[in-house]
């Protein structure tokens, strides 16, 4: 049961994820969370560095789709300036939104990775989908009130994973 929460990879931030390393895995598409994965949960716009990261992925032929549990207004306002496809109100860790993103990219599950900052939504959802999952350290130290409970549960699960020798990185 614990392995459902175990990411395949852990990185400090999305900028450690390069098109070159993804291409070696045969990745053609990224499904990524938005809040505290790409930018702070209360940041309305992409940073120049994030825009450059997305452009590098595009230039390498890797599609990027945002799948967020947040409302459509928030996600659309963030994605439209960068012309990024998105699925809002995703209800992660349910897999319906992930399947929708894969289908809209015209890919198959084996071509996709899921990137996110939460074990209980992003990683569990990606693992349930059967794709390579990458956990990133949250961009901000604070969270929206809806995420705070998840963070407490996440710390407990991370402790169990560490105790069982399944993870070796520091928080």
DSSP string of the chain, one letter each residue: -GGGG--SEEESSGGG--HHHHHHTT--EEEE--BTTTB-TT--S--HHHHHHHHHHHHTT-EEEEE-SS-HHHHHHHHGGGT--EE-S--TTSSHHHHHHHHHHT--GGGEEEEES-IIIIIHHHHHHT-EEEEE--SSS---HHHHHHHHHHHHHHHHHHHTTS-----
Whether 168 maps to a domain, the answer reads no
Whether 19 maps to a domain, the answer reads yes
Q: Which domain holds residue 98?
A: 2-163
Whether 170 maps to a domain, the answer reads no
Whether 157 maps to a domain, the answer reads yes
Whether 24 maps to a domain, the answer reads yes
Whether 159 maps to a domain, the answer reads yes
Q: What is the pLDDT of residues 122-162, one digit of tens each?
A: 999 999 999 999 999 998 776 555 667 777 788 888 787 88
Banded model confidence at residue 33, pLDDT cuts 50, 70, 90:
very high
pLDDT at 2 over 80: no
| Structural domain count, the chain | 1
Banded model confidence at residue 85, pLDDT cuts 50, 70, 90:
very high
- The CATH number assigned to the domain holding 99 equals 3.40.50.1000
């Amino acid at each position: 049961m614990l392995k459902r929460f175990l990411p395949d990879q852990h990185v400090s931030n999305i900028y450690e994820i390069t098109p070159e390393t993804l291409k070696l895995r045969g990745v053609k598409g990224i499904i990524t969370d938005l809040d505290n994965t790409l930018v702070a949960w209360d940041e309305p716009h992409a940073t120049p560095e994030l825009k450059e990261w997305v452009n590098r992925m595009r230039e390498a032929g890797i599609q990027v789709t945002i799948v967020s549990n947040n409302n459509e207004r928030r996600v659309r306002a963030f994605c439209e300036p960068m012309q990024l496809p998105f699925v809002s109100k995703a209800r992660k860790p349910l897999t319906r939104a992930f399947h929708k993103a894969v289908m809209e990219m015209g890919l198959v599950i084996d071509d996709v990775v899921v990137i996110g900052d939460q074990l209980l939504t992003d990683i569990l959802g990606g693992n349930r989908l059967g794709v390579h999952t990458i956990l990133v350290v949250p961009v901000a130290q604070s969270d929206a009130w809806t995420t705070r409970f998840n963070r407490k549960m996440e710390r407990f699960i991370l402790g169990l994973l560490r105790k069982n020798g399944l993870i070796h990185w520091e928080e």
